[in-house]
Amino acid sequence: MDALKKELKENIIEQLNLEEFTVEDIDNDDALFGDGLGLDSIDALELIVMLDKDYGIKLTDPEKSKEIFQSINVLAEYVATHRVK
Amino acid sequence: MVGATPLYSLKKFHVSTKLNIQAWCSVKNGTVSCNGKKIVSTDNEQTFSEFAKQIYKEQQWEYPKFYKMDRLSKLTFMTAEILLNEVTISSEEKEQLAVVFSNKSASLDTDRNYQNSINSIENFYPSPAVFVYTLPNIGMGEVCIRHKIQGENAFFVFDDFNPLFLKQYAESLAQNNKATQVLCGWTEIDEKGYKSFLYLASPNGTLPHTEETITKLYTQS
């Protein structure tokens, strides 16, 4: 699970061009939106595409994405359970 | 209604609509110049993205949104940022600051990137973050957001730099009380290279706002 969390952080940094962040800067419990990483609605869409592309997870329910993008811990748990690649 | 003040007269316009060139800035081939002085000159072997990152760090802008912009927006933002940091414009004046930009390739540079992400049915992952930059005026919006500019704005596409059009359009805005100052210019990036040239037309300027002067500054930049 730790390897997946690190991989998710790396993917998020690369995909969202968070050039001022490193993997070490993101705590597993940090809020990804709002006061945490400060991501916006376009970033949320980009993360949905990333889940589809990298893990074969298709999110169609906006409420569900709000729930699973809470933190790296929550996201990793969801990806580990639902990934198809 | 005798003695009532018409609404239009409440707007705070300057009396003078005569525009001059107050400041100008250009970015091309790893070089940044402002008001005729070279302020950054880097290794021309750098890619545009490397160059933009270097300028961002050197200038200490602390605006992480910059990293998310496409190449045209970064070029536009960099040039405007350096130019606008050279002049003092009050928040009140920014309400009457218009922006008129132009280029040749519109947003083709980013359009191609986006097209590449949807070319293949097997690898069909359109990027929302790329898609939002598939218009040339988005970079102009980034500048307006950063500096809270609220005047009129327009982006035009021409085959070549068109100083006469910029002059006439800016003066028309001023004469019709649509703006008191106008940020004008050219911001172009494609596979072959990049060049931007922006200038501020303002009653506070000292250089004549003529086609000849605009052409001269653009050519020398």
Q: How many domains does chain B have?
A: 1
CA distance B97 to B106: 23
B184: left (phi over 0), alpha (psi -120 to 50) or beta: beta
Domain membership flag for residue B144:
yes
Query: What pLDDT, on a 0 to 100 scale, did the predictor assign at position B9?
Result: 44
pLDDT in tens, B15-68: 557 999 999 999 999 999 999 999 999 877 899 999 999 999 999 999 989 999
B117-150 b/e (C-beta count within 10 Å ≥ 16 → b):
eeeeeeeeeebebbbbbbbbbbbbbbbbebbebe
CA distance B205 to B18: 10
Q: All domains of chain A, ordered by start, with CATH?
A: 2-82 (1.10.1200.10)
Give chain A positions within 8 Å (CB) of B64: 18-20, 38
Query: What pLDDT, on a 0 to 100 scale, did the predictor assign at position B75?
Result: 98
Determine whether the interchain pair A20/B64 forms a contact, defined as Cβ–Cβ distance below 8 Å. yes
| CA-closest candidate to residue B71, choices B129, B139, B146 | B139
- Nearest-CA residue of chain A relative to B132? A42
Give chain B positions within 8 Å (CB) of A52: 125
Domain membership flag for residue B147:
yes
ipTM confidence: 0.84
Residues 4-33 of A with CB under 8 A from B: 16-20
Domain membership flag for residue B120:
yes
User: In chain B, pLDDT over 70 holds for what percent of residues?
Assistant: 93
Q: Is B68 on the interface with A (CB under 8 A)?
A: yes
Tokens encoding A69 = 């993008």
Write the single-letter amino acid at B138.
I
The residue with tokens 């990806």 is: A79
Give chain B positions within 8 Å (CB) of A45: 128-129
Determine whether the interchain pair B128/A46 forms a contact, defined as Cβ–Cβ distance below 8 Å. yes
Q: Which residues, given as ranges, of chain B have pLDDT below 50?
A: 1-11, 14
Tokens encoding B186 = 């050219």
Query: What pLDDT, on a 0 to 100 scale, did the predictor assign at position B123?
Result: 82
Can you say how many angstroms the Cα of residue B197 is from the centroid of all Cα atoms in its chain? 8
Cα dihedral A57, A58, A59, A61 in deg (nearest 10): -140
Give chain B positions within 8 Å (CB) of A43: 129
Domain membership flag for residue B38:
no
Determine whether the interchain pair A45/B128 forms a contact, defined as Cβ–Cβ distance below 8 Å. yes
Query: What pLDDT, on a 0 to 100 scale, did the predictor assign at position B16?
Result: 57
CATH number of the domain that B86 lies in?
A: 3.40.47.10
User: In chain A, pLDDT over 70 holds for what percent of residues?
Assistant: 100
Question: Is B196 strand, coil or helix?
Answer: strand
Q: Which residues, given as ranges, of chain A have pLDDT below 50?
A: none
Domain membership flag for residue B126:
yes
Domain extent, residue B81, equals 16-33+43-220
Cα atoms in the 13 Å half-sphere on the side-chain side of A22? 1
Q: Is B129 on the interface with A (CB under 8 A)?
A: yes
Domain membership flag for residue B10:
no
Query: What pLDDT, on a 0 to 100 scale, did the predictor assign at position A19?
Result: 85
Domain membership flag for residue B6:
no
Domain membership flag for residue B7:
no
